[in-house]
Every structure is written in structure tokens, then in C-alpha cells.
Structure 1
Amino acid sequence: MESRPNWLPKGVDLEVPSAARCYDYYLGGAHNFAVDRELARNVEAAVPNVRDLAQNNRAFLRRVVRYLLDKGVRQFLDIGSGIPTAGNVHEIAQQVDPGARVVYVDNEPVAVAHAETILDGNDNAEVVHADVADVPGVLDSPQVRRLLDFDQPVGVLMIALLHFVPDSKRPQEIIGAYHDRMAPGSYLGVSHATCDHHPESLRSIIDLYKNSSNPVVSRTRQEVVDLMSRFELVEPGVVYVPSWHPDTDEDVWEEPERSIVYGVLGRKI
């Protein structure tokens, strides 16, 4: 077992891998532990392009944030954010407008601890330790109340999050609860893993993650559409993430379905 760092929050089990820390590993970060790296390397062996998948998902996040900035959105709630490493929401938004406000939310204490360090001194960005299913715990947190005004449009982001929320937790009802608190003109951005095409890749990930703290659930395109049923979908709707508003034609994969992740942005009318 890895020696326990002094800064590590209480309650973190270093014998159980975490999806947030594995994602950090795929993105080339250093905020992960031996147990995470073991799982991540097993995933790499089964799905050799998993780092490309993670980078592609992060690129989708950046494009969504830029799209929302172009629409005048200046406040963001990134739920299931993981560790806000380089190129994350606050950096993108505050490059455009230093007054843009961002709150990150994660239920992984290591991600939250590192986010607090990264955001130290940034008066317009904070982090909340909470679970997406605890809607009051997120929206009524002191950090959200200080920085975000839900009487004005807000960009809510659930990127690579909902495939860790099983049907038993009623993800559509969770989304509905956020929708009810969002002002008209607000947006919800979602990316979600699927077995619709090239199912062998995601099934390998599902099998490897089943004993982690974050088992993975696959959903079909129609199920992702259903999750977004209360929002008006921004064109082109639910598509594989390389095909959602690519920066250039070269950014679109020859087979976008190999990304195994759908992306969508919806607007509250």
C-alpha cells in the first residue's frame, strides 16, 4: 500500500481507485496514486486509445465553454469536475472575462483538496465537496451562493459525469431538479459514454471499473436524448464529441464513434 501523504483528506481509501484520479492520469496529471495508476494502466492495455478519449472529452468541454461565452454566459457550475488542471473552465472563461465566475463540484476529496490549492487566490472561482445527487447541497452551498446568481443564465456542466450515475439514482430527476433552479437562457452541457458503436472498448472499461469507487454505466443515444428532454438541444444535438462544433475539420475523427462518448448542449427555454 502506498504511504499516506500528510495533506491527504481523511476518509480517502488508497486501496480503492477513483475515476477522477484515473482521469487525471489519462490527462497526464500527477494527482493520482498507485491504485489509480494500476487501474488506469489496465484500462490502457484493454483500450489503447483511452488517453485520446480523455483528451477528446476535455476538448469538448473547452468548446462548450467557449460557445457559452460567445452567448454571453459569464457564470459556470462544473459538476463532477475532477481536478481542475490546465485548460479547465476557470482558465478558459477568465481569459475572455476576468470577472467570469466558476464553481467546481466533486465528491472526490482528493480532487477537491487539489482544486482548493489550484484556486487559492482566485476570488472568482471556488470548489464544493458534494455529490451531483445532492442538489440542495450543491446549489445552496456557500460557494455557489456567493459566486453564482441563478436568476441569471448559468452554464451547468456535467462532463463525463452521468455515466457514473446509475439508473437507481434517477439521473433524469436529478437533472430536472437542476433545471428547475436554472434561469431561462441557461445551458446544460453533458458528455456520456456509450456502447452504441465499438462496444468492446466501453465494455472493457465497465468491467475494469466495476470494483472502483465509480462503476460505469453505458447509455444509448436515445437515453441521452431522454436525459436532456427538458432542454432545447443546441445543433447538432446528441453526437459523438469530435463532431460537436469542432474547431477545424481536422479535429473531426475519421470515425467519430470511436470516441465512445456522446456530447450535447441544451438550453433552458
Structure 2
Amino acid sequence: MATSIDRPDEQFKIVIEHSGAVPAADIGAILLGLDRAFTRFVRSRSGGQLEGELGVREVRHGCIEVVLEAIASTDKLLDAGAYLAPFASHLIEIAKAALDLEGPTRGPKADQKLVGDIARPVANGHARQINLVIHGNPTFNITPDVASQLIERLIPAPKETKALLPPRLPPSPLMLGDAEHIELASRGLDGTAMEVDDQWYARLVSGGGVLVPIFNQGRDILIHRGLYRFHGYAAQGVRGEVVGINITGALRLDGTA
């Protein structure tokens, strides 16, 4: 099956990486919210001159890949399609602003809720990761820790239930398990190096397909789609959450080192 990187003609795609069934209600809420938000976005950006809807062009097996396209009258289809990638970027900007705990959230409340709904399958454990893909590039990855932060910032609990919530536990290393932490620092972890928009990722064999950002690759020169044994340690965010890995060594397994 072709990967996200192989299909730059697809303006906006959502890739849901899962190990079991994802509730239809979750996917339905995402699609309905996307359609309504896209209609508002097109109407606002076009000054009310254009009406656009969102359609599902294709759903692929394996990971759930939902390929989206614009729908409009025949003479306006190309015009509506021009708003699809900017719409995806708009949602990603909302998500990134929500992850900035020191700053305010951005975007209409309805669109904030939509971003939270997109993250919900990961937060609920129904999906391992969700990738928002623009023009074939995985532009924003929703991992479990990211999903929980988006839900907390964008879909706050009702006031009457906040007092009943247990204290928030310190973030745990969700990208790497305890055993993987030890192996990364000792014998190493095997995985494929992938470069997307000048950012390197490791798709670890033990990681179920999740793209783990590489923040420091040391002196090693990585090859895109090369198979390596990575040595290093976890990279942590300001809250102690694992946000990727720092590489101290990378042994090429499918060619010369």
C-alpha cells in the first residue's frame, strides 16, 4: 500500500493507526465535524462568495486512511478545492496553539472542539496515533500524550465534574515503554529512519508504526527509509513527557554503516 509520503496529490488525509476496531461513532463525529468546519471555513475565507462541502474520496485498509476532497457545484469545484489544504493547516494551527500551555487557545470554539474530537480515539485508547497529512506529508502527529493535552485544553470538563476528577498524574513515557527505554540506551532499538519536511523520524519495529521524532542524530548521517539500530535516550518536553528520541549512534542494518 502506498504511504502518505508517496501521494503528494492528496491535499488532506487523516491516517488512523490502530490495533483494533475504532468506534464508528468516533469516526462519524470527526467526519461530520470536518464537513461543518470546512463549510464555515470556505464561507469565511471567500467572503460568503463560495459554498463548499467536504467529501470522502477513499478509505483505505490497514491503517484507516480517510482521503478528503472538496465538494461544490461544477463551476466552483476547483475554487473550493483550493481551500482544502489551508483548512487542514488551520486545524493544525489550533492544535499547536492548544499545546502551548502558556498561550491562549486559537480558532472558533466549534473548530477547537473538532480538533479535540479528532484526538479522542487516541486519548481513549482506540487508536495508537493519528496523522494529519497535507499534500502527502505527515504534518501533525497526535500521539497519546498530545491527545490528552488537546482534550484537556479544547474540550474542558464541565465545572460540576471538575471537582470529581482525580489529581492529574505525571506524564508517562507513552512513545517508549520502560523496556524500550532500557533497550535504547543498551542494545539499541531497530527501526526505519524517515525524513519528512526536514524532520527526521524513527519508525521503530516495536512501535506499531508510530513515527517517533528524532531531535538529535549525533554525527550519524541518516538515509531516508534506511533500516538502523538506534542507540540513545528519550527526549522529554517541558512537562516531562516523552516527545521523541535523541540518537547517540545509528548502525545501518540494510547496508554499510
TM-score relative to the length of structure 1? 0.28
In terms of fraction of residues, the more strand-rich structure is 2
> In terms of Rg, which structure is larger?
2
Q: Which has the higher contact order (CA 8 A, sep 6+)?
A: 1
In terms of fraction of residues, the more helix-rich structure is 1
